[in-house]
Amino acid sequence: MASKRASSGDEQQKLSPSGLPVRQIPGSYGVPFFSPLRDRLDYYYFQGAEEYFRSRIARHGGATVLRVNMPPGPFLSGDSRVVALLDARSFRVLLDDSRVDKAGTLDGTYMPSLALFGGHRPLAFLDGADPRHAALKRVAIRLAAARMCHVAPEFGAALAATLEGVEADLAASGAAEFNKHNMRHMLDFTCAALFGGAPPSKVLGDGAAAKAYKWLAFQLHPLASKAIKPWPLEDLLLHTFRLPPLLVRRDYAELTAYFADAAAGVLDDAEKADPGAIPRDELLHNLVFLAIFNAYGGYKIFLPHLVKWLARGGPELHARLAGEVRAVVPAGGTITLAAVERMPLVKSVVWETLRVNPPVEFQYGRSREDTVVESHDAAYEVRRGEMLFGYQPLATRDERVFHRGREFVPDRFAACSDDERRRLLGHVVWSNGPETGEAAEGNKQCPGKDAVVAVGRLMVAELFRRYDTFAASVEENPVEPVVTFTSLTKAAVAAGHGDGGKA
């Protein structure tokens, strides 16, 4: 990418195409092996992810493009060195498929064993320019579009079961952990919404969700933290060596057998639509990944964050949401996708949750060529093949884009003009692309983007159709918060009498 030069006397300043001064990328990688190891401990235990980056931004005078080491480091990662993009402007490079190659970069500086995926490389690990990417993405896009009409009824059934479990626990002990019930019922929802038929809990038993979670853990353990105490033991067990895929092979085989039956129609249709494009076995393993990793794993993280922010909003926010929901859906009515489309505050709360707590916090990609990356205040030269990394929460909370960006503002996207809303949504990029964008065969944007947003809206609407308000405690954890309901105040109609009721 060409750069301009501005002269002042005998000095020349290299400028980026938009006129920003081109500077060397600050930061260093330190001493091989030892510095990545120390940085891993800072990241997971001594500072935490956000402070890890903010401290380095402060150390380098506010620069938001930096050279840093990213975990897991020795011995799991062959190369921990990345160029970190820590503001909204520079982060967008990672969404430009013409500038970054995303082959094998989903989990960053390490790649899980393909034995976890039946020997195949899932769609999420393919670059958008790979011909196999287009063939697999076509199936995913067609599936998402064809099954969208099943999202509302299937989610309604799953959420009803979740809330029944919460109410029963509250009645029995005065407290109910949302995550436990969400983990169990969201897997059934995901599979019913995508494929129909009998849900995993009926075919594989009550342990179906545990099998799915175990398989996820074997992929993501190098990125996990605060799961085992004391932390030195956790660091040794989770961040130093790969957990052998052999230990999860039987669980994965049972899950794959379930999907071979549940998704048989999808597999048949794909073979008819694109004969020979993707072998049936490879497509099957991709559907397992799509359903469990992409969809179920996303809901497992996203929905507790949504409930967390609703709990922190308190009775005033709850009253506003309840009023909006009940104005659109009268007592006894059914909440549909069309109905929640007419609820601006509900929509805003969901978008704000995805902005503040994107389900996937990281993006990685290798620079396709020598290029110039621009932050708000400067530009930096990046060489071909360098690994670029973005910590999404810093980008989507960037106060140069979002007023009070580090705060949760429930009506941020409702209390603005249509043009301003569209501008802001262009920087809500949780789906590996702007909220205003669409998934396509040649890009890396999530094909289930619209379904995730719809599920969030349906959940908020159903909560405040059923309840006037609720209270919950929140324990922040690295991946998802643990949300424990301590009270639920039922809506008057739902309670069956005029003065409401408590669960």
Kindly tell me if the per-residue pLDDT of 89 is higher than 70.
yes
Whole-number percent of the chain with pLDDT over 90 = 92
Kindly tell me if the per-residue pLDDT of 130 is higher than 50.
yes
Q: Which of 17, 21, 23 is nearest to 8 (CA)?
A: 21
Tens digit of each residue's pLDDT (9 = 90 or more) over 141-180: 999 999 999 999 999 999 999 999 999 999 999 999 999 9
Q: Which of 240, 253, 243 is nearest to 218 (CA)?
A: 243
Q: Which of 139, 17, 86 is nearest to 399 (CA)?
A: 86
Binding site, by residue number, is: 446
pLDDT of residue 283: 98
Fold of 96-360+397-502: Cytochrome p450 (1.10.630)
Taking the CB of residue 241, how many other CB atoms lie within 10 A of it?
Answer: 12
pLDDT of residue 499: 43
pLDDT of residue 3: 52
Would the pTM count as exceeding 0.85? Answer: yes
The strands making up 362-367's β-sheet, listed across from edge to edge, are 65-69, 81-85, 387-391, 362-367, 100-101
3-state secondary structure of 16: coil
**Structural domain boundaries in the chain:** 96-360+397-502
Binding site for heme, by residue number, is: 446
230 prior amide bond cis, ω within 30: yes
From the number of C-beta atoms within 10 Å of its C-beta (0-12, 13-18, 19+), residue 330 rates as: exposed
Kindly tell me if the per-residue pLDDT of 336 is higher than 60.
yes
Q: How far apart are CA 14 and CA 236, in angstroms?
A: 46
Please say whether the beta carbons of 446 and 431 come within 8 A: yes
3-state secondary structure of 359: coil
Tens digit of each residue's pLDDT (9 = 90 or more) over 168-227: 999 999 999 999 999 999 999 999 999 999 999 999 999 999 999 999 999 999 999 988
Q: How far apart are CA 160 and CA 197, in angstroms?
A: 19
Q: How far apart are CA 309 and CA 407, in angstroms?
A: 11
